[in-house]
Amino acid sequence: MGLMAGQTRSEERKAVATAFVAPAGEAARPSCVAPVGSSRLSPLRWLLTLSALAAAAVLVLLICLQFGAERIGLAEEIRIVSLAIGAGPAGLESAGASGVILLQVRLPRVLLAFMVGGCLAAVGVGLQALFRNPLADPYVLGISSGAALGAGLAILFGLTGTALAFSALSLCAMAGGLLSVLVVYRIATAYGYLPIHTLLLAGVILNAVFSALVMFVTSIMEPNRSFGMMSWLMGTLTAPDYPAMLVLAAYLLTGLLVLFRQAASLNLLTLGEESARALGVEVEAVKQTVFFTSALLTGAVVSVSGMIGFVGMVIPHALRLLAGADHRLLLPASALVGGMYLMAADTIARTLLAPTEIPVGVVTALAGGPFFIYLLTLRKGRLA
C-alpha cells in the first residue's frame, strides 16, 4: 500500500513534468499556471500517505500473527482478538491453546518487531540527515559495538535476573551502548561544538575497538554461551512481558516524537550547516537533540533486539525515492514501513525452519542487501 502511494506520487510528478515541458524557446515557458502546489509535500498527501501506511501496518500485523510453528487462520484470529478485546483476560480462557499462543507468544513478539523496526528506520532517517549521508545507519555512532560488549560481558559472566522487568542482558547492552555513545560524543566535542566529520570518525574508530573487545570476549566464552552471543550479534528479538513492553513503547514513542519535531529543521540541515544557519536554524541545538535522541532510541532498541542490520539504512533510502525527501513525511513513513518490514522479516525468521529460529538480522540482510544493490543500479550516480 505504501508502495502504491509512492508510485502514484511519482506518476503525478511525471504528469506534471510532461505538462510543463515548454514546446520551444524561452517565450513558450509557462508563466501563468504554476506547478508549485503539486511539486511539494502538501498536508493532504502527508495525511493520505500516513493513513495508508498505518492501515497497511495493521494488515501486516494481522497476517504476521497467523504464522508460526502452527498456522492460525484469519477467522480464528479475529475470534480470539475480539474475545480478548471484549472480555479482557477472562475471555482468554475460552479461546483455548491458540488464544494463548496468539496473545501471549506471538503478539508481544510481533509488536516488538514493529517497535524495533520502526525505531531503527526513523533513527536511520535522522542520522542520514545529520551526517548528510544517505549511507549512515543507527549503528554509525558506535552504539552497536558498545551494546555488544555489554551483552557479551553479561553472557560471559552468566548474569541473570531482571530489573524493571528487563533482563540483565538487555540492561548491560543498554549501558554499554550509552557508554560508547558518551565516549564518541566526548571525543567529537573536544572543541566545544559538534563537528559532524569528527563524530563519524569517532564512531567508526570506537566501533573497531569495541568490536575487537567483543571478539575477545566471545573467544574466551564457553562454547554453549558463545552460541548465545552469536545469535545476539546477528539480531534476535526477545519480547519482554507486557508491562515491560508498555514501558518500552512509551519510551520509544517519546523519543520518536522528539525526533519528529526536528523534521523541518532536518530538512534545512541537509542543505549544509552554513546554509541551515543562514536560514535561521539553531544548528548546534538541532544536532545535539538528534544525536542524543538517536543514541537513546538505538540503545534501547539494541538492548532488546541485538544488532539488526539494513533496516535503518535501506528503509529510509527506499522511502526517500518513493515519497520524497521531506522529513516531515519521511520520518513517520519510514517508522511505519520499517516496523512492517521487521514484522515480516521476523515472521520469516520464526517460521522458515520452525521450530529452529533463524536470527532475524540474517533475514533483513539477505532481503535488504540485494534490494539495496538494485536501488544502487537504478539510481546510479545520485546517491552521493
DSSP state, 40? Answer: S
The CA distance from 84 to 103, in Å, is 9
* Closest approach of other proteins to the CB of residue 382, in Å: 5
Q: What are 165's three cell numbers?
A: 522487568
CB-wise, 42 or 82, nearer to other proteins?
A: 42
The CA distance from 313 to 336, in Å, is 14
CB-wise, 40 or 71, nearer to other proteins?
A: 40
Q: For the chain, first and last CA: distance in Å?
A: 29
Residue 166, helix vs strand vs coil: strand
CB-wise, 17 or 250, nearer to other proteins?
A: 17
* Closest approach of other proteins to the CB of residue 284, in Å: 10
* Closest approach of other proteins to the CB of residue 264, in Å: 5
CB-wise, 266 or 342, nearer to other proteins?
A: 266
CB-wise, 324 or 359, nearer to other proteins?
A: 324
Cβ contact 171:303 at 8 Å: yes
Bridge partners of 179, per DSSP, are none
CB-wise, 166 or 260, nearer to other proteins?
A: 260
* Closest approach of other proteins to the CB of residue 12, in Å: 9
* Closest approach of other proteins to the CB of residue 234, in Å: 31
Cβ contact 306:118 at 8 Å: no
* Closest approach of other proteins to the CB of residue 270, in Å: 5
* Closest approach of other proteins to the CB of residue 282, in Å: 5
CB-wise, 236 or 267, nearer to other proteins?
A: 267
* Closest approach of other proteins to the CB of residue 274, in Å: 5
The CA distance from 137 to 313, in Å, is 5
Q: What are 266's three cell numbers?
A: 532536518
Phi, psi angles (nearest 5°) of residue 167: -75, 160
Give, for 163, the enclosing helix (H) or strand (E).
Answer: strand 162-163
Grid-cell match 539477505, residue found: 366
Residue ranges binding other proteins (CB under 8 A): 13, 16-17, 20, 22, 29-31, 34-41, 43, 46, 129, 132-134, 260-264, 267-268, 270-272, 274-275, 277-283, 320-321, 324-326, 328, 382, 384
Residues 195, 257, 55, 378, Cα dihedral to 10°: -10
Q: What are 32's three cell numbers?
A: 501563468
CB-wise, 13 or 225, nearer to other proteins?
A: 13
* Residue (of 121, 40, 129) closest to 323 by Cα position: 40
Residues whose CB is less than 8 angstroms from the CB of residue 53 and which lie 6 or more positions away in sequence, other chains included: 1, 2, 5, 333, 336, 337, 340
